[in-house]
Amino acid sequence: MGFPASVGKYHLGRTIGEGTFAKVKLGLNMDTNHKVAIKIIDKKMVLDNKLMDQVKREISTMKLLHHPNIVKIYEVIATKTKIYLVMEYASGGQLSDQMFYLKRLEERDARKYFQQLIDAVDYCHGKGVYHRDLKPENLLLDGEGNLKVSDFGLSVLRKPGDLLSTSCGSPSYVAPEVIAHNNYEGAAADVWSCGVVLFELLAGHLPFEDRSLTNLYRKIARAEYTCPTWFTDTQRRLISRILDPSAIRRATIAEILEDRWFRVDYTPSAAMENEETINLDDAHKASDNTDEITQQTAGEKSHSFINAFQLIAMSNDLDLSGLFQKQENSNKKTKFGSKHSVDETIEKIGVAAKGACLSVERINNSKIKLHQIKKLARCKSLFNVSAEVTEVTPTNCVVEISKSAGELLVYNEFCRSLSSLLKENSDGSSDLQFPMASVEAGK
């Protein structure tokens, strides 16, 4: 289904991001001539998957937050089929894209981004908001190079001291107590994720990596990581205080703010006044059949979703074919199930890439970067796609395809080819997507 050329006072431009239930388009405020980002949410898909409460929670959370290092929401517009979230446009893109090209950041830049991240998270916690999915993909940069925290889809609003129980987030960035399925404090879990981000900014790679989720979680639970030789003593000390597997001993934000390395060239970000009041009536009207939406209790799981933490509890005879939801459109992040070993799966990714006229760059044992072959007439823009393979069992993997730039035509061709290859010699498997990060945003 196509999109209108304009919505309200906003002209819709090119797509700058895609997800399972939404697209993000560049918009232009025709009254002020200012660029905005417009997140277009498919109402039917959200209702069918019982995620309307999550959408409302994201809007309500963003409404509370007015900080220079947090993406602002300007307006909510709804039609019978779509919900439009008009948000601040961060022209610098994702921090993860910058890290890909630079590999690792200079200390000055890493410290600046970390300072702005801590300021934003401290502000959120002061409002009772816990993000729970902090990672470079959810950290944007504006035109002046300032960091902006985005994507509050897994956030939760709680009173200080209230414990959380839902295991959610992205495996490499999640705190040990979350993996252990214990009740946990949202503030301490967010601080851990900030520590992982800091390590990655300085090192150019994650502190905890493994193709096996079980081994990955074991490393996280024991805080088994090695600092690169170029880390300074002050950097090592701060990271060791943050990446403490004991949430009680872990550094708090107040302690981080007093750290000697952190305070170099530190200028605190000032919270902004509440400039606008967001009218949520349209968001509520977007769910005309609100009474028909099944309210999920804290213990219920949506049948369309399963998160990474549940996978390791499954048997070794895991049949991935039933875990994925079919989606015809190519997404910025698409996940496929593979009933092959990691090495076999990576070989198939290479074959699919060759068929789509893409070159393959092996980054490590589980991660691949795909590039367009130069001078192809049909490729009109740069192509930036990565593929990461995570082992679930010795003969089952999850393949995550991430696209931050490039032609949808080429991306679609690659995904179709990979889907077919992953189905070979696998009874019942299919090209069904696995939205691992889009899981429970409740308690």
For the chain, percent helix, then strand, then coil, each to nearest 5? 35, 20, 45
β partners of residue 3 = none
pLDDT the model gives residue 149? 96
Q: How far is CA 26 from the centre of its chain?
A: 19
pLDDT the model gives residue 413? 77
CA dist., res. 294 & res. 429, Å (int): 29
Catalytic residue numbers read: 133
The identity of residue 150, as a single letter, is S
CA dist., res. 194 & res. 125, Å (int): 13
Is 387 strand, coil or helix?
Answer: strand
CA dist., res. 317 & res. 337, Å (int): 14
pLDDT the model gives residue 121? 97
Contact indicator for 168, 135 with CB cutoff of 8 Å: no
| The pair of three-digit structure tokens given for residue 53, joined into one six-digit string | 């409460």
CA dist., res. 343 & res. 333, Å (int): 21
CA dist., res. 419 & res. 32, Å (int): 44
Q: In what order do the strands lie in the sheet with 35-42?
A: 6-7, 10-18, 22-29, 35-42, 82-88, 73-78
Looking at residue 138, the DSSP 8-state letter turns out to be G
Q: Which domains does the chain have, with CATH numbers?
A: 8-89 (3.30.200.20), 93-257 (1.10.510.10), 308-423 (3.30.310.80)
pLDDT the model gives residue 443? 55
Contact indicator for 62, 45 with CB cutoff of 8 Å: no
Q: What tens-digit pLDDT sequence spans the chain (443 residues)?
A: 466 688 889 999 998 887 767 889 999 999 999 999 999 998 888 888 778 877 888 888 888 899 999 999 999 998 888 999 999 999 998 998 888 877 789 999 999 999 999 999 999 999 999 999 999 999 999 999 999 999 888 888 887 778 887 777 788 999 999 988 778 999 999 999 999 999 999 999 999 998 888 899 999 999 999 999 999 999 999 999 999 999 999 999 999 999 999 999 999 987 665 544 444 444 444 444 333 222 322 233 333 233 444 343 333 333 333 333 333 343 466 777 787 888 888 888 888 888 777 888 887 777 788 877 654 544 555 667 888 887 766 677 788 887 766 667 777 778 888 888 887 654 444 433 333 333 334 45
Rg (CA), the chain: 21
| The pair of three-digit structure tokens given for residue 377, joined into one six-digit string | 């007439």
Q: Which residue shows structure tokens 């393959």? A: 360
Length of the chain: 443
CA dist., res. 409 & res. 419, Å (int): 15
Residues 6+ apart with CB under 8 A from 441: 54, 57, 58, 132, 153, 154, 155, 156, 166, 168
Contact indicator for 433, 336 with CB cutoff of 8 Å: yes
CA dist., res. 115 & res. 133, Å (int): 18
CA dist., res. 167 & res. 188, Å (int): 14
Query: Which conformational region is residue 369 in: left (phi greater than 0), alpha (psi within -120 to 50 degrees), or beta?
Result: beta
Whether residue 39 is annotated as binding a ligand: the answer is yes
CA dist., res. 109 & res. 27, Å (int): 29
